[in-house]
Structure formats: C-alpha cells, structure tokens
Amino acid sequence: MTETAVTGQKRDAEDAVHPFDEAIALDVVAEGWYVGRTHAAYANMVGPFGGVTAATMLRAVLDDPRRLGEALSLTVNYAGPVADGPFDILATPVRTNRSTQHWTITLTQDDVVTTTATAVFGVRRDTWSSTEVSMPAVPAADEVPVFKVPALVAWTRNYEMRYVEGALPDMDSEPQPDSTTTLWVRDFPARPLDVPALTALCDVFYPRVFRRRGTFVPAGTVSLTTYFHAGVEVVEEQSDQPILATARAADFGGGYFDQSARLWSGNGRLLATSHQLVYFKY
C-alpha cells in the first residue's frame, strides 16, 4: 500500500459520520416537525439508550431557525418504549421572551406519544460566577484502565469508560452502602464534545440500584432533567478528551429512586448537572 493510499484511508475515516451523529440525525418535514430513526448501535434493553433520545429531542430545537440562544435546561419524560424504526418529533417554541425561550417537544410513533420534553433556551450574559461544588479528586484519565464493557446492551460500546469508583457490578459483587459512581468517559470512537453529546453523557451511568444491591434488576429512567452550566464554547473547548462524570442516589423505595450527576471538563469546569427519577423492580 502506498503512502498516498494510507493517507487517503485516514482521511476517509476522519470524514466518516460518527455513529452518534447518525443516531441523532433528523430530517425536516415542516417547521418544527422532524423525522428521525433509532440506531442499532445505541440500542438499550428496550428501545434506544435514553441519553440518545434526550440528545435527539434537543437536536430538534438546535436545528430550528426559530431558536433563541443556547440550551439552559432540558427535561425528558420517558412515557413508553421507542420501537425500532422511524419516529416523529414535534418541537414548539411556546414562549419567546427577550432573552429566554421555552419549548415543548414530543416524540411520537404512529401518533402514540413515547416521550415528552420541555427545554429552556436563552442567552448567557456576563455575570458574577462561582462554582460552589468541588470536582472529585481523582487520578488522571490515562492512569485509569478502560472498563471492558460486557455485551449486555449495544449502546455502552459507544463510550470509553474508565471507572474511578463504583464500576458496574459483576457476578462477584456485593451490595454497597453508597451508590456513588465516578468515571472518566468519552464517546468511542473519540468525537469532539458538543451539547448533544454532553446531553447523552448525562445519562451514561448504569442504574444506581445495581450498585446498592450488587446485582442487576429491571430499571429504567422515568424523567431526566439536565442543567447546562457551561456555554457552548466551553463545552466545545473540551474537544475529544475524557470528561469526569459522577452520580449518586438520595432515596430508593416504592419502586423508584433518584440520581443526581455532575459532569466536569478535563480541566475542572462544571459542564452540567443532571437529575433523574428511575423506575426499578424488587
């Protein structure tokens, strides 16, 4: 193989669309109406990985010429499973103010609602700033081994995960008194971070109940809220380097538990905080 051929191959790989971008791609049908489709690489136990569904719903607003400013908050409610195949997204700017804009977003299949969302977009202004919480003290990403993901669900293979604490339980795991999981994580293959990828990463944690009980039980996110603290430029400065993600539950019972997460850039900027309510059995 000549050197030119090798260079050519490399350029093809660089130009190839990342599976994440394929998974969240939308075709415009009319103003605020999009068609997307599930992607085999991001399949979960039932339907697609919730993080990719959230990113796809945000994508609809990001693609809309009516959009004002950047994503500030996003709440996604997982009402029912998304079946393999195409889906419709309807995104409506229900209120546009001088500097903020409120959206409702609905994902349907054959006119049946599977997912609802609301998003707040807005213009960031230069104000007093302070990050009050601390990034966990952890070894550098390249000092932590890459976790070998078991072949349970497809989507986990699209992330390079380096667990600092609280790795996925295995056959030998015991119940734990604390549900905290902290990991260095990035898309795999590596892909420059943007707001949709960050949105998906907010849901990258396996269910906290697995860790507390030391085993797998049926579980699925019911509602997911993300607050975007960093502006788009700060998010994109991260490029394709690992980010630090940490999550913990407050309460389990009655068939539900919560999870609160913080996502940090490699150089210690708080990119997003995220909260979810999760259904579980047993």
Contacts with a second copy, 217-236, as mask; x by CB under 8 A: -----xx-x-x-x-x-----
Angle formed at CA 111 by CA 71 and CA 31, multiple of 5 degrees: 45
| Interaction mask 149-188, a second copy, x per CB under 8 A | -----------------------------xx---------
Helix (H, G, I), strand (E, B) or coil at 100: strand
Cβ contact 280:219 at 8 Å: yes
Q: Are 219 and 281 in contact (CB under 8 A)?
A: yes
Chain positions 71 to 130 lying near a second copy, rule: CB under 8 A, are 72-73, 75, 77, 79-80, 94-95, 97, 99-100, 102, 104, 106, 112-114, 116-118, 120, 122-130
Question: Does residue 255 bind a second copy (CB under 8 A)?
Answer: yes
C-alpha to C-alpha distance for 132 and 117, rounded to whole angstroms? 28
Nearer to a second copy, 168 or 263 (CB): 263
The 187-216 site mask, x for binding a second copy (CB under 8 A), equals ----------------------x--xx---
> By the 8 A CB rule, do 185 and 227 touch?
no
- CA angle (157 as vertex; 223, 280 as ends), nearest 5: 30
- From the CB of 73, what's the least distance to a second copy, in Å? 5
Torsion of CA 151, 220, 81, 60, to 10 degrees: -90
Token digits of residue 196: 């949709």
Residue 82 backbone zone (phi > 0: left; psi -120 to 50: alpha; other: beta): beta
In the chain, the amino acid numbered 177 is: P
The reply to whether 132 sits near a second copy by the rule CB under 8 A is yes
The distance of closest approach from Cβ of residue 99 to a second copy in the complex, given in angstroms and rounded to an integer, is 8
Alpha-carbon Rg for the chain, nearest whole angstrom, is 19
Report the nearest approach of a second copy to the CB of residue 220 (Å). 10
Sites of contact with a second copy (CB under 8 A): 72-73, 75, 77, 79-80, 94-95, 97, 99-100, 102, 104, 106, 112-114, 116-118, 120, 122-133, 178-179, 209, 212-213, 222-223, 225, 227, 229, 231, 248-256, 258, 260, 262, 270, 273, 275, 277, 279-282
